[in-house]
């Protein structure tokens, strides 16, 4: 799964120029999203198949993963009389995590179009630090729709949880996505904004090739005093339908 693959030294986060994004840059924070807000309606979705036992128990020991801990926190050892009640507990657990989506690519045309306001936005490059809490893992694009029986879920916890969080349809493969997942107590949105210094360092800033000059100036002025941060403009590759880093 994701942890078995080497993580790139630098991962990228595309963004639009807005009051919220500038506030995040000033405060040096990133947003760990609620999975329900993702633009892919099938992301982090699953189905529980009908099972024969009359009642089920949430397993008492579920492992160390964030989602495993959240499932465990849904009243371990408590019995549920229906798969719907069990599903509701699992759905609630999903609302109590935050997901930071990053990419291994900084020059993907579709990413610039979809997540950076049609090349008018920017892209941040982050150098990932080793950290037990904020662990980046690669997304698999196997396109599996996750279905399981409750008794099977209990027997293969980590496998199913990995499939739920780190699995997407193959049509999204262009995103080259990595995810960092953290606990959001009680699904409190005020805890979703996290200072990036806790687990990564800003390495570089890329301006979309259609980004207005005054927007570039705003961001440039925020970071011009830090010589460690590379500030780079994107430009069209001559004669091609592609962008590249400007020399």
The predicted structure's pLDDT at residue 61: 38
pLDDT for residue 105: 97
- pTM value is 0.85
Task: Point out which residues pair with 234 in neighbouring strands.
Answer: 245
C-beta separation of 41 from 207 below 8 A: no
For residue 80, the model assigns a pLDDT of 53
Taking the C-alpha atoms of residue 120 and residue 19, their distance in angstroms, rounded to an integer, is 15
CA torsion sign for 16, 194, 184, 146 is: positive
Euclidean distance between CA atoms 111 and 24, whole angstroms: 20
Q: Which residues, in sequence order, are CB contacts of 171 under 8 Å at separation 6+?
A: 143
Low-confidence ranges of the chain (pLDDT < 70): 1-5, 50-83, 86, 154
pLDDT at 154: 66
Quote the pLDDT of residue 148: 81
- Do 198 and 181 contact (CB within 8 A), yes or no? no
pLDDT of residue 112: 97
Please tell me the predicted confidence (pLDDT) of residue 133: 84
Q: What pLDDT sits at residue 134?
A: 92
């Amino acid at each position: 799964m994701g942890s078995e693959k080497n993580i790139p030294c630098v991962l990228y986060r595309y963004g639009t120029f807005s009051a919220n994004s500038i506030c995040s840059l000033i405060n040096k924070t990133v947003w760990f999203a609620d999975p329900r807000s993702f633009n892919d309606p099938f992301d982090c979705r699953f189905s529980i198949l009908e099972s024969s036992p009359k009642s089920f128990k949430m397993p008492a020991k579920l492992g160390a993963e964030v989602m495993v801990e959240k499932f465990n926190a849904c009243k371990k050892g408590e019995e549920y009389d229906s798969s719907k009640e069990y599903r509701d507990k699992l759905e609630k657990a999903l609302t109590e995590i935050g997901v930071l989506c990053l990419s291994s690519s900084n020059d993907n045309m579709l990413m610039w179009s979809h997540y950076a306001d049609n090349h008018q936005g920017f892209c941040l490059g982050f150098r990932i630090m080793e950290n037990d809490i904020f662990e980046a893992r690669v997304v698999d694009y196997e396109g599996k729709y996750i279905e399981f029986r409750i008794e099977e879920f209990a027997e293969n916890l980590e496998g199913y949880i990995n499939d739920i969080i780190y699995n997407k349809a193959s049509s999204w493969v262009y995103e080259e996505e990595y995810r960092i997942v953290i606990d959001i107590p009680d699904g409190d949105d005020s805890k979703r904004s996290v200072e990036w210094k806790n687990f990564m360092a800003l390495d570089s800033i890329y301006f979309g090739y259609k980004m207005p000059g005054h927007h570039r100036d705003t961001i440039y002025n925020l970071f011009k005093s830090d010589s460690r941060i590379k500030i780079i403009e994107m430009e069209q590759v001559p004669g091609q339908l592609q962008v590249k880093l400007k020399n």
